[in-house]
């Protein structure tokens, strides 16, 4: 059976499963719509949390970053995984003990302020829409390549599926759909990795193959990669050109950003007890580890396969380069998407793939008649193209397509639901129309989700960067805005509403302004994005750390010169931290 047909079958069956679960788990109350009735089993919630958190950035883009950045890509592994540990230890149990529906509701109550709640909603919307843009780009990439449809058509289909199970099922439907999506994405990620690991090293366990010798060479995989990429003028795979401060900043921004992501935090409101929140976090880490320990091997194997496909001979042997007319079918298929491009700059009919940004190497390469790098490969295609490069069976490639869509849609659904909940529960019910009925609130939530899906589709059609980069910006915004006020709300009795509002606004405005200035998101590029121009040498991906520090400084400073929080708020903070974690959560 041909690849397109198999892909339609795999994706169609997964969509049917998601829709069936949504119909079965339809939300009938606001409690079910917002937090799945607070009755989800910890193991189930852990699996759903893993799917919610392992977005298109984890499935599609992270291994692609590692493939091209090598050691430098490890910041994404360390940051995202470490952040989940922070979330599990510092936030999840306490927020579950508080027992509310949303993060803005906690902030509004803790800081006894409607203004704080509204500002939290604004921060949440900026974070969520930035994050969801990356997910919809992932959906578009998979549809345009594997289902061979226009990007707009693929986005429309993805939006339609999310609309059905997020709007109809709410958090209850999304939770059980995400369990199915986790199963799809983890199988789709690991099966190709096992095939390719065995193909390259004879060891079917990717984590062990990563440190094994490559068949027929006697070289360890990383040694071989270092040898090949340096011959082509690239940096050694096991080193990085990032500065220490930038590595630290990006890693920390991703960590605290993870702990401040509202769509992940809200998952811990869905379990019955506080101890179940801790248990859910532990199970989620187990499920996440299955993919995250596999990703470095996937990235290395993808880079090795790509390079050896294109650059068959030694760097000084132009005859060893792949001839354009001999390029494999997978390259032709990805060329049609625009995500892989070839330009024969010297007219020799061969694909010259090397690093022409390396001046010393470019001068050497010019001796052989090369006029510049002729191959451009989008980082987001590496995981999806890897099975094709390795010539795996069509059913494996179709499975990867279904997995990529599952990863993108699972996170997109969680984000869109958080947006709709904030609009209906925090803005309408909690602020502007407190007398609305539960039925009206439920309808408002569904309408909010529908509008959010349309906006997400537009952002997917006009994304501000590649998937992992866009997601990194979202984590930076979360680190600079929500994380500090949540932490201070739990562990400090002295931070008041004025401090919280000022801190959130300063952190959000500074971080967003910095990212927009360097990346040209929504405005023209104001400052060239090179290390020499970065503040303290910190790239836009890591600037959330500075925004976070500004948030803390402003919040504490403003709180010092304004009135202390009321006595009942200070008692509330003490009550949240009382270690009665094994008991049922108390709704205040």
**Mean pLDDT for back-to-back runs of 10 residues, the chain (588 residues):** 81 82 71 65 86 76 84 83 79 75 81 88 80 73 73 77 70 79 88 92 91 87 87 84 88 84 75 79 86 90 87 61 80 82 83 76 73 82 86 87 79 75 75 78 78 77 59 80 90 92 92 81 67 86 92 95 91 74 43
Q: What is the pLDDT of residue 587?
A: 43
Q: What is the pLDDT of residue 312?
A: 61
Name 24's Cβ contacts closer than 8 Å, sequence gap at least 6: 176
Q: What is the DSSP string of 204-270?
A: --HHHHTTSBPTTT--BHHHHHHHHHHHTTPPPTT---S-HHHHHHHHHHHHHHHHT-HHHHGGGGS
Question: What is the pTM (predicted TM-score) of this model?
Answer: 0.80
The number of helix segments (H) and strand segments (E) in the chain equals 26, 2
Structure tokens at 246: 């930038």
Q: What is the pLDDT of residue 195?
A: 92
Domains of the chain listed by start with CATH number: 3-301+388-577 (1.20.1730.10)
Q: What is the pLDDT of residue 585?
A: 42
User: What is the tens place of the pLDDT at every residue in 220-264?
Assistant: 999 988 888 888 788 888 888 888 898 999 899 888 887 777 777
Name 244's Cβ contacts closer than 8 Å, sequence gap at least 6: none
Q: What is the pLDDT of residue 168?
A: 67
Q: What share of the chain is helix, strand, coil (3-state, %, to 5)?
A: 75, 0, 25
CB 291 within 8 A of CB 186: yes
């Amino acid at each position: 059976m041909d690849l397109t047909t198999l892909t339609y079958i795999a994706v169609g069956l997964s969509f049917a499963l998601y829709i069936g679960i949504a119909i079965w788990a339809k939300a009938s109350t606001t409690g079910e719509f917002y937090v799945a009735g607070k009755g989800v089993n910890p193991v189930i919630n852990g699996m759903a949390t893993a799917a919610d958190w392992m977005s298109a950035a984890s499935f599609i883009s992270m291994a692609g970053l590692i493939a091209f950045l090598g050691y430098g890509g490890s910041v994404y592994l360390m940051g995202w995984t470490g952040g989940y540990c922070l979330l599990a230890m510092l936030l999840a149990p306490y927020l579950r003990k508080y027992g509310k529906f949303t993060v803005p509701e906690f902030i509004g109550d803790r800081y006894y302020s409607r203004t704080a709640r509204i500002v939290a909603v604004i921060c949440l919307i900026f974070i969520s829409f930035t994050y969801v843009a990356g997910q919809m780009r992932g959906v578009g990439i998979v549809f345009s390549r594997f289902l061979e449809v226009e990007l707009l058509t693929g986005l429309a289909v993805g939006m339609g599926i999310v609309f059905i199970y997020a709007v109809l099922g709410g958090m209850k439907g999304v939770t059980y759909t995400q369990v199915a999506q986790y199963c799809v994405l983890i199988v789709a990620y690991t099966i190709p990795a096992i095939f390719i690991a065995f193909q390259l090293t004879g060891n079917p366990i990717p984590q062990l193959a990563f440190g094994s010798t490559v068949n027929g060479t006697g070289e360890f995989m990383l040694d071989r990669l270092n040898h090949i990429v340096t011959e082509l003028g690239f940096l050694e795979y096991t080193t990085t050109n990032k500065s220490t401060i930038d590595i630290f900043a990006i890693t920390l921004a991703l960590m605290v950003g993870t702990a401040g992501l509202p769509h992940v935090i809200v998952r811990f409101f869905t379990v019955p007890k506080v101890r179940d929140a801790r248990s859910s976090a532990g199970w989620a880490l187990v499920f996440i580890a299955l993919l995250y320990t596999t990703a470095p091997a996937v990235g290395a194997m993808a880079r090795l396969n790509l390079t050896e496909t294109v650059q068959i001979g030694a760097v000084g042997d132009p005859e060893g380069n792949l001839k354009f007319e001999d390029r494999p079918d997978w390259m032709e298929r990805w060329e049609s998407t625009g995500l892989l491009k070839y330009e024969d700059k010297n007219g020799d009919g061969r694909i010259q793939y090397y690093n022409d940004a390396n001046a010393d190497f470019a001068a050497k390469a010019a001796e052989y008649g090369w006029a510049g790098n002729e191959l451009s490969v989008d980082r987001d295609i590496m995981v999806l193209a890897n099975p094709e490069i390795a010539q795996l069976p069509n059913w494996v490639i179709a499975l990867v397509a279904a997995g990529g869509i599952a990863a993108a849609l699972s996170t997109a659904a969680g984000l869109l639901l958080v947006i709709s909940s904030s609009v209906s529960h925090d803005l309408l019910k909690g602020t502007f129309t407190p007398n609305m009925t539960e039925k009206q609130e439920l309808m408002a939530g569904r309408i909010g989700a529908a509008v959010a899906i349309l906006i997400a589709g537009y952002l997917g059609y006009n994304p501000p960067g590649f998937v992992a980069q866009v997601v990194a910006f979202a984590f930076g915004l979360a680190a600079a805005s929500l994380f500090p006020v949540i932490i201070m709300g739990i562990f400090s009795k002295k931070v008041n509403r004025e401090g919280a509002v000022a801190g959130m606004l300063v952190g959000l405005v500074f971080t967003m302004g910095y990212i927009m200035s360097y990346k040209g998101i929504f405005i023209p590029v104001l400052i060239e994005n090179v290390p020499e121009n970065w503040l303290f040498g910190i790239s836009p991906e890591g600037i959330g750390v500075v925004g976070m520090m500004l948030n803390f400084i402003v919040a504490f400073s403003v709180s010092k010169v304004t009135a202390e929080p009321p006595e009942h708020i200070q008692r509330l903070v003490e009550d949240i931290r009382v270690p009665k974690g094994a008991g049922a959560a108390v709704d205040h």
